[in-house]
Amino acid sequence: MRKASTTDDPWRRARLALYQALLLGTIFAVWYLMTEPVLVSEEFARNTAFFFGKPVLVLQRTIEWFVSGKIYEHLLITLVETLLAFAIGTLFGLGAGLAGLAGLMVGPIASIESGMGDRILILTLVVIVVGGIGSIRGAFYAALMIGVIDTVGRIFLPTLLRAIATRSVADAAGPALASMLIYLLMAIVLAARPQGLFPVRHG
């Protein structure tokens, strides 16, 4: 013979229903007591009914919004806020993931330290200024231009300097001058075209 389950016991179901009703009543009682004028003013509770108002005010405000049609405005605002929060969180997570991937790739060829990204940040600033603030196309072309100038300068400047200086001095001064060429380019662009070489076109 199958043993009767505890969920089949009508008395047990009645007790569970009673406990649930008591718990719900306790929540509403605490909610009601926390909104007494001693703690929250009546005007403040009416203006912020869904946070500090009595349950009666919450129901009244909901009915008013349904009748006036404002409930749809609030639903739309909530939807927009949710989508914006999702987009911002997704972009932040994607950026953090790309930064972690970049650190993973550069780790085997460079020393890992807390300030290892400072030089990249400075070069990023130069790329943004040269290409134009807010311009994706400008950032792409400026990054290529600055990379070529830095690489070519590090390769050929030491050879050119050997004609007027010793080999050790030329090898030490060449990379330094190549780095200076990047900032010299940024200064020339700022003086001749402050908006950048490829600014964003409005309209």
59-105: pLDDT as tens digits: 777 788 788 878 888 788 888 989 999 999 999 999 899 888 887 88
Residue 106: CB atoms within 10 Å: 14
The DSSP letter of residue 8 is G
Backbone angles phi, psi at 186, to 5 degrees: -65, -40
Predicted TM-score (pTM) of the model is 0.49
Residue 138: CB atoms within 10 Å: 22
Residue 46: predicted pLDDT? 56
Helix (H) or strand (E) holding 34: helix 10-34
Residue pair 52/44 in contact (Cβ under 8 Å)? The answer is yes
User: How many Å from the N-terminal Cα to the C-terminal Cα in the chain?
Assistant: 82
Name the E strands within the chain. Answer: none
- Average pLDDT across each block of 10 residues of the chain; the chain has 203 residues. List them in order: 57 87 85 63 57 67 80 85 92 89 79 74 88 87 89 83 81 82 88 87 68
